[in-house]
A and B are shown apart, each in its own frame.
Chain A
Amino acid sequence: MSGRLATSYGQDMALLNTPAKRWWTLVLVVAAVALPFVLEDDLLVVLATAFVAAIGAIGLNIVTGYAGQVSLGHAFFLAIGAYTAAALSGDPDSTRLIGFGITSLPVWLLAAGLVAGLAGLIVAPLAARLRGLYLAVVTLGLVFIGEHVFKHWRDLTGGVGVGRPAAVPELFGLEFAVDGAMFTKAQKLYLLMFVLLVIFGVLARNLVRSRIGRALAAVRDRDLAAEVIGVDVTRYKMIAFAVSSFYAGVAGALLYVMIGFVEPGSFNLALSVQYIAMILVGGVATISGSVLGALFITLLPRLTRELPAVLPFVSSSSTAGGITVFQVEAILYGLLIIGFLIFEPRGLFGIWIRIRTYWKAWPFSH
């Protein structure tokens, strides 16, 4: 039986429960796959970065959006993933850096996720005891501890200002990070990241519409009430942190593949805030919103970089007078977060939902 008439709960909960959704998903996927053959390479790299950021944002959304546990420590977990992957696939003969020479993508990707997930599990007991601002401050502490460790553990990270090569993506002998005969490096990376985003996005959607997802939402809405109706709050907070960190680890491992280089100074509070901005702008507690937010925030610098040409008082370097593009970016993040929180708490996805509802209700208002 098709259509609205639900004869099983499975049908009621289906990911693509209407024909319209099925069609538009197909159209979207086809369009995304066709893009690398249309766009310039540099833009493809930005998009690929955005896809990876989206994986990370999905992770943050699981713990902050779905489970309601505010985490400022996302940068820490991204770093763990990045260094696990970089170390695993690093050159084993290097005297300067730790390296194991395992360049197979599935291996180091999974390892990066698992190590970060483990770190998340270790942090989780804190979350079981703390809530709201207190939890935010503790996770903030993580970032500073991490920053300190990574800056000084030169064997792993290469040290401040030097850094180390990022993980080498290779799958069944296919190298992604070099130009090939048929595809350029950018095209290959774009497609790889797109496929990974789809995989991790679908996994996350399946997680949040399951028993676990409902339990997380119950914890978010009121942990006491959740406990009363039989949700093991500690257990689900741990699951939320573990899964979220796993996603962060995966994103961290992939994030530096595009530039090919990891610098320990980049895993700071600003990075965490960037991810918070992604989910707030995109839409809290939605997977599609995370993707939208990641795309938006990652593409934003591309736009601000065009500003000096339009606005004379904005300069592209810090030596010149006036305000720099980087400052404009920082201001925009702030304004966007404030604006969305006040005017559209459901984010970009909320705007989309509103448009969709408008046309769905046509010609009535509801």
Chain B
Amino acid sequence: MSTVTAGTRLATIATRVRERARTTPDVIALREKDLGLWQQVSWSAYWDTATLVGHALLALGIEPGDRVAIHSENRREWLYTDVGTVAVRAATVGLYPTNPVAEVAYLLRHSGSRVLVAEDQEQVDKALAVADELPDLEHIVYLEPRGIRNRYDDPRLLAWPDFLALGQQHRAAHPAAVDERMDQARPDDVATLVYTSGTTGPPKGVMLTVANVDFAIRELVERGGFTGAPPSPKDSVLSYLPLCHVAERVFSCWFGAGAGVCVHFAESIETVAGNLHEVQPTILFGVPRIWEKIAAGVQIRIASAGPLKRSAGGFWLRRADWIGDVLAANGGRHTVASRLVHAVGYLVCYRALLDRVGLRKVRYAASGAAPIAPEVLRFFMGLGLPMHEVYGMTENSAVATANRPGRVKVGTVGEPHDRAEIRIDELTGEILTRHDGTFAGYWHDPEATARVIDPDGWLHTGDVGEWVDGTHLRITDRMKDLIITAGGKNIAPSEIENALKASPYVKEAVVIGDGRKYLTALIGIEPDTVGHWAQQRRLPYSTYRDLSSKQEVIALVQGVVDEVNERFATVEQVKTFRLLPKLLEHEDGELTATQKVKRSAVASAYEELVESMYRVGAR
């Protein structure tokens, strides 16, 4: 373990995987479903393929500091490429599979990637469409040959097996080349460029160095910054969120390399429910959207079950609500009464329910990357899921605060990590963080870097927050999202939006009101649940647009809005709303790659709808 323990040599994700391959070669590191079977990859096979990738990159002339882009869904090759790239001291650039051509062009050009690993014909086509504007792009390695082999003759194309064969040859000729390159690694090597999908302006490339990643792994993984008891090879995770996002990178790649957690790749984002059921992970991270969806699914499925199941399930869900309230009031710890009720409920309902949704073995669940409604957290806590809201961002390597097991305060993002300094700017209320995980800067954008890192090393997160009881941090909103009404009142829209989104019928909510007399909202309905609701009422509909324009549906959403309004002060109440005529899409520029709403884009795309809410007498 000499390479992993501090000081002597630098630990990168590559050295960590190499160390696992040496100490536990036959333990399963990765599982991926192929033709209905979970293919298993041991640590030795993992490291072997990653080294081959490293050799292949050396054969292609990749030098320290070069960039290697990956444009793929989560799969084994993603991690092989990531680890292999870091091994040869190059930087990995992740592209979202949903990135449209224009963004692919921007990211590849801006990062100056020399090699692109593209998943399939779809992604290869995106790159080839703009390849002539990309002087730096020398090679495109494709993983799925279907539709490409024997049809495309671009000289830059290289099939994955040929790419690995190149690595084989290079390894035969220079057996120690990758190890030598790894030994030269320096703490300020850029390990990865993570493009943050800014809700305004083009994405910015966050440079995370080897030292940043190492700090994050030590803090979050080895010291158990999230999980309390540090993760171990007995734990398993499901990798389903885009790996180019820092959160999934933490839970898939870094938890794996740092603690030996077994990573299972979901087949796709649509099959997450089924894959969860099969894998039954012990550690699960989700963005609020995922948790909201699971919660809505549970409620809808119980409501649509037979009479016995409906009444029994409903009864135990109400008990779960109560347990959730108790737990939330006690920092996540049970009282005698709540433990008793939960034990009975577990026997007759919760165990089966959690098993069905694939959460039965989860010992640590976390939500992050966006604010989540407290009701959703309480819902899962009541079912017996140890649920924690965490906070971090790409720029600080995802190290900021976390609710710790047993010290949960619902509505806050938790306590600062042990070696992270957090303070709140007295003037602006902005949250500032400082530690070794603070990023090295934005790629090719020193101006932007200077704007967020001040001379003392404090990172300006752009989030506004406050301390709760002096220990826990509560986030009010993104600074630039704060709404100042015509009456001069400061309002944090995300709280209202999350309260709306906690309803199973609401998928998206955008509160509008900056410089206006009152607040309004654009609301997107959840097609599954509202569709189901309509079916139950024998309400015929054809498309999403048709469903959204039904008077009954508008009345349904009005009910949700009225209910939410009761919880807010008069100025914070949504006076009127309009339903969005379509689902918001990343490809239409309405969502970021992480499915966050781009307010400005939505507000301008639906300007007519917005204006109609502010006309005289509008209601």
B-binding residues in A (CB < 8 A): 1, 3-9, 12, 358, 361-366
User: Could you tell me the distance in whole angstroms from the C-beta of A17 to the nearest C-beta in chain B?
Assistant: 13
Given the known inter-chain contacts A362-B309, A363-B313, please indicate yes or no for A3 contacting B280, CB distance below 8 A: yes
**28 A-B pairs (CB sep. < 8 Å):** A4-B277, A4-B278, A5-B31, A6-B37, A6-B38, A7-B31, A8-B37, A9-B36, A9-B37, A12-B37, A361-B356, A362-B309, A362-B349, A362-B352, A363-B302, A363-B305, A363-B312, A363-B352, A363-B353, A364-B301, A364-B302, A364-B305, A364-B309, A364-B353, A364-B356, A365-B301, A365-B306, A365-B309
Q: In the bound complex, what is the Cα–Cα distance between A6 and B279 (angstroms)?
A: 10
Q: Does B304 lie within 8 Å of A365, measured CB to CB?
A: yes
Q: Which residues of B contact A9 (CB under 8 A)?
A: 36-37
Q: Does A363 lie within 8 Å of B316, measured CB to CB?
A: yes
Within 8 A of A (CB), among B35-61: 36-40
> Taking CB as reference atom, which chain B residue is nearest A359?
B352
Interface SS of B by simple majority: helix
What 3 pairs between A and B have smallest CB-CB spacing? A363-B313, A365-B305, A364-B301
Q: In the bound complex, what is the Cα–Cα distance between A62 and B352 (angstroms)?
A: 36
Q: Which residues of A contact B313 (CB under 8 A)?
A: 363-364
Q: In the bound complex, what is the Cα–Cα distance between A364 and B301 (angstroms)?
A: 6
Digitize B305-341: 1 where CB-to-A-CB distance is under 8 Å, 0 elsewhere: 1100100110010000000000000000000000000
Digitize B25-40: 1 where CB-to-A-CB distance is under 8 Å, 0 elsewhere: 0000001000011111
Count of A-B contacts judged by CB separation below 8 Å: 50
Q: In the bound complex, what is the Cα–Cα distance between A16 and B197 (angstroms)?
A: 49
User: Could you tell me the distance in whole angstroms from the C-beta of B265 to the nearest C-beta in chain A?
Assistant: 12
Q: Which residues of B contact A7 (CB under 8 A)?
A: 31, 37-40
> Taking CB as reference atom, which chain A residue is nearest B302?
A363
A-binding residues in B (CB < 8 A): 31, 36-40, 277-280, 301-302, 304-306, 309, 312-313, 316, 349, 352-353, 356
> Taking CB as reference atom, which chain B residue is nearest A6?
B37
Q: Which residues of A contact B40 (CB under 8 A)?
A: 1, 7
Q: Which residues of A contact B349 (CB under 8 A)?
A: 362-363
Q: Which residues of A contact B353 (CB under 8 A)?
A: 363-364
User: Could you tell me the distance in whole angstroms from the C-beta of B298 to the nearest C-beta in chain A?
Assistant: 8
Q: In the bound complex, what is the Cα–Cα distance between A239 and B593 (angstroms)?
A: 58
Q: In the bound complex, what is the Cα–Cα distance between A97 and B25 (angstroms)?
A: 72
Q: In the bound complex, what is the Cα–Cα distance between A12 and B280 (angstroms)?
A: 17
Q: Which residues of A contact B316 (CB under 8 A)?
A: 363
Q: In the bound complex, what is the Cα–Cα distance between A1 and B353 (angstroms)?
A: 23
Given the known inter-chain contacts A4-B277, A4-B278, A5-B31, please indicate yes or no for A363 contacting B309, CB distance below 8 A: yes
Q: In the bound complex, what is the Cα–Cα distance between A8 and B277 (angstroms)?
A: 18
Q: Which residues of A contact B280 (CB under 8 A)?
A: 3-4
> Taking CB as reference atom, which chain A residue is nearest B279?
A5
Q: Which residues of B contact A361 (CB under 8 A)?
A: 356
Q: In the bound complex, what is the Cα–Cα distance between A1 and B316 (angstroms)?
A: 33
**Central interface residue in A1, A363, A364, by most chain B CB within 10 Å:** A363
Q: Which residues of A contact B301 (CB under 8 A)?
A: 364-366
> Taking CB as reference atom, which chain A residue is nearest B275?
A5
| Extra contacts besides A12-B36, A363-B309, A365-B306 (18): CB < 8 Å | A3-B280, A4-B280, A5-B31, A5-B278, A6-B38, A7-B37, A8-B37, A12-B37, A362-B309, A363-B305, A363-B316, A363-B352, A364-B305, A364-B313, A364-B353, A364-B356, A365-B305, A366-B301
User: Could you tell me the distance in whole angstroms from the C-beta of A14 to the nearest C-beta in chain B?
Assistant: 13
Q: Which residues of B contact A363 (CB under 8 A)?
A: 302, 305, 309, 312-313, 316, 349, 352-353
Given the known inter-chain contacts A363-B312, A363-B313, A363-B353, please indicate yes or no for A5 contacting B38, CB distance below 8 A: yes
User: Could you tell me the distance in whole angstroms from the C-beta of B381 to the nearest C-beta in chain A?
Assistant: 18
